[in-house]
Amino acid sequence: MAHRWNVMAKGENIRLLHIMLVMFVLSPLSACGLSNGPIEGQVFEAGTHKPIAGAIVIVRWHGTYSIPFADTSSSCYHVETATTDAQGHFKTPAWTEKSKGFLFSGDYWVINMYKSDYQEYRPPSFINSDEYKKNVRFMEPFKGTREGRLEFLAGQRGKECGPRDAYVKKLLPFYRELYNEAKVNAKTSNDTKIVDSLHYSLDDLELGTNEANNKQTQGEYGP
C-alpha cells in the first residue's frame, strides 16, 4: 500500500511541476524581450530578373514553446510589412516586444509578397541557395484565369499573427489591395461573393469584428 501511495504522490508532483512550468511560460518576463533588426532583401521578376517595384512584402516571425512533459508547439508571434522601391529593395522596421517566457525561442521568419497581377515564384531547390539566404525573392505574372485569380486573392488572407493591435495597421494596405484588385476583376455573381468576403475581411481588420458583423447583418456584403 505504501508503494502505491509513493507512486501516486510522484505522479501528482510531476503533474504539478508541469502546471507550474506552463504557467511560467505563459507569464511574460519583463526582464528580457523578443527583438529583431530590419529584414532587408530584394524582389525580382522571374525570368527577366527585373526589379519589381511596389510589391507588398510581409515578414512573419515564428517561434517554439519547448515545454517539458508536453508536446512542443509553434506559433507566429510577430508581423512586419514593407513596400519595394524602384529597385525592388525592401526593408522592414526593427522591433522589440515583451518576452513570451524563457522556454520560448524565436526560430525563423517567413517572407511573402503581393503585387497586383503577380504571384510568388520559387525556383527548384531555391531554399538552399545563397539568394534565398540573402532574402532575394521572385515573382512572376499570374498565369491562370480571371476566376483563378479571384480564388488566389481570397487565399492570400490569414497573414495575421501576434496581438491584434500590433498587426492591424501593418496589414491594412495589403488587405485593401486584395479587395481592390478583386473588385476590378469581378464579373459574375460567384466573383461578387469572393469580393464580398474580402470586403468583410477588410472591414473586420479596419473596423473590428462587431462592426463587420453588423454590416453583414444589414446585407452590405451581398446575400
Considering the domain architecture, whether residues 223 and 173 belong to the same structural domain is answered as yes
Q: What does the pLDDT read at residue 22?
A: 45
Q: 3-state DSSP call for residue 143?
A: coil
Most confidently modeled range among 9-23, 57-71, 104-118, 203-217: 203-217
Q: Which DSSP letter does residue 92 get?
A: P
Grade residue 25 by pLDDT with cuts at 50, 70 and 90.
Answer: very low
Q: Is the pLDDT of residue 26 over 60?
A: no
Q: Is the pLDDT of residue 70 over 70?
A: no
Taking the C-alpha atoms of residue 69 and residue 147, their distance in angstroms, rounded to an integer, is: 48
Considering the domain architecture, whether residues 53 and 119 belong to the same structural domain is answered as yes
Mean pLDDT within 62-66: 79
Considering the domain architecture, whether residues 54 and 109 belong to the same structural domain is answered as yes
Mean pLDDT within 168-188: 96
Q: What does the pLDDT read at residue 50?
A: 97
Mean pLDDT within 96-120: 83
Q: What does the pLDDT read at residue 136?
A: 96
Whether 156 maps to a domain, the answer reads yes
Q: How many domains does the chain have?
A: 2
Mean pLDDT within 195-202: 96
Cell of 123: 525556383
Q: What does the pLDDT read at residue 217?
A: 92
Residue where a domain stops, chosen among 100, 126, 143: 143
Grade residue 33 by pLDDT with cuts at 50, 70 and 90.
Answer: low
Q: Is the pLDDT of residue 112 over 70?
A: yes
Mean pLDDT within 88-99: 88
Considering the domain architecture, whether residues 179 and 193 belong to the same structural domain is answered as yes
Cell of 126: 531555391
Considering the domain architecture, whether residues 112 and 153 belong to the same structural domain is answered as no
Residue where a domain stops, chosen among 143, 176, 208: 143
Q: Which domain holds residue 166?
A: 145-223
Comparing C-alpha atoms, which of 63, 66, 80 is closest to residue 170?
Answer: 80
Considering the domain architecture, whether residues 133 and 149 belong to the same structural domain is answered as no
Whether 6 maps to a domain, the answer reads no
Considering the domain architecture, whether residues 180 and 135 belong to the same structural domain is answered as no
Q: What does the pLDDT read at residue 43?
A: 98
Considering the domain architecture, whether residues 162 and 221 belong to the same structural domain is answered as yes
Considering the domain architecture, whether residues 103 and 171 belong to the same structural domain is answered as no
The DSSP H or E segment spanning 7 is: helix 2-26
Task: Decide if 159 contacts 112 (C-beta within 8 A).
Answer: yes
Grade residue 76 by pLDDT with cuts at 50, 70 and 90.
Answer: confident
Whether 176 maps to a domain, the answer reads yes
Considering the domain architecture, whether residues 38 and 115 belong to the same structural domain is answered as yes
Point out the least confidently predicted range of 17-26, 63-72, 211-220: 17-26
Residue where a domain stops, chosen among 143, 171, 205: 143
Taking residue 193's Cβ as centre, other Cβ atoms within 10 Å add up to 16
Q: What does the pLDDT read at residue 95?
A: 86
Average model confidence (pLDDT) across the chain: 84
Considering the domain architecture, whether residues 223 and 196 belong to the same structural domain is answered as yes
Whether 22 maps to a domain, the answer reads no
Considering the domain architecture, whether residues 78 and 132 belong to the same structural domain is answered as yes
Taking the C-alpha atoms of residue 50 and residue 48, their distance in angstroms, rounded to an integer, is: 5
Task: Decide if 54 contacts 119 (C-beta within 8 A).
Answer: no
